[in-house]
Amino acid sequence: MVKKKRDKLSKYKNDLARFSRLSYERGLVAARGGNLSIRIPETERVLITPSGISLRDITPEIIIEVDIEGNLLKGKKDLKPSKETPFHTSIYRLRGDVMAIAHLHPPFATALSLKDKPLPILTAPGMVNLAKVPLVQFAFMGTKELCDYVTETVKESMEAKAYLLKGHGIIAVGPDLESAYYIADLVEDCAKVAFLHSVNG
């Protein structure tokens, strides 16, 4: 039983490292932005990427563990949990269906967030798989204000698979990290199509 738990924990950490790198390589995030997390099933614990490290450089060994309130449980002493840990844990407390979160900064989605409207969904895959992507009001990174805005928007749209953060990026959620990653990728594709349509329409 203990070995199984260790193996699952190792898999979750490997998934975080893998999808962090994929997010960077796909251009869904740049520099040291973005953060990913996984809620450990049947626990009140969360694994999250550390603050101040590019998603390109995430490895399983540096993943940090916090409780559902965001308190540090395990991690290397020179590393801190992502500054966006508060809104990750808030989403987990609100939505029992969410087991993974990808907060990324894709450029087309971020650009469209400045229009102060939910993301336009113009493609069939978007209509089927996203339905809507609500807009979260602007607040600076890592602030209580941002966490409050995210919490408020999630409460208003509990069925959404993604949320658009004004001037900041997106939050994609799912039953596992692979699902959250592909939702983020689809959101950016929809944003790109919406942008091209607005330019050429």
Active site residues: 84
| Contact in structure between 81 and 50 (CB atoms under 8 Å) | yes
Residue 134 contacts residue 73 (beta carbons within 8 Å): no
Burial class (CB in 10 A: 0-12, 13-18, 19+), 191: buried
Contacts of 2 (CB under 8 A, 6+ apart): none
Q: What are phi and psi of 86, to 5 degrees?
A: -55, -40
